[in-house]
Amino acid sequence: MFYPKLEGVSLEAHKATVEKLTKLAKRELKLGDEGIVKRSLRPEDLGLTGRWGFVVTSTSGYHTMVNAATISNTKFVSIEGVFYPKSDAQLITQLEVNRSGSIVRYWTIQGINFLEDQTVFFDDPVTIKQNDPVTIRGYNPTTSTNAAASPEEVVLIGTVVEKKGLTIND
């Protein structure tokens, strides 16, 4: 299920997910609180260049948005929500998350672009450990596609817990 605000159930899911990532990072990297940093998910954390824009070439089926991106060593990632800043029909209405070769989540996101903030937060975030591959596919139920000049923006909202000093110092 998803929620239009980061409060209540979605806020508790976020807090639990960040705590889980923090414990994993501290244990696997053998660091204390002072050795790690928590920050927002960025496209490059999932192997993307630039913005959260996708050229959708598949019609009436799944389109690969993130293709077997391996999470960098010393990083632990969560995907906790989506921002879909489009004012007309969405090309992507469902997300499929595959972690380490297994499908771990399907999220229906149809219609979130018509919500007030065009944002949803999930009550079942996905966590991905360092060195794990992740593939994210979006379902396009239409016969429409888009061009590189006008990519479909599907902004993934999440958290990264990583070794301090690699990307951000504090």
pLDDT at 150: 85
Chain segment 108-163, per-residue pLDDT in tens: 999 998 899 999 999 999 999 999 999 999 999 988 888 887 888 999 999 999 99
Provide the CATH number for the domain formed by 2-163 in this structure: 2.60.120.1170
Helix, strand, coil in percent for the chain, rounding step 5: 20, 40, 40
Q: Is the pLDDT of residue 3 over 80?
A: yes
> Residue 4 in contact with residue 109, Cβ under 8 Å?
no
User: CA-CA-CA-CA torsion for 87, 89, 91, 93, nearest 10 degrees?
Assistant: 90
Q: What is the pTM of this model?
A: 0.92
Domain boundaries, the chain: 2-163
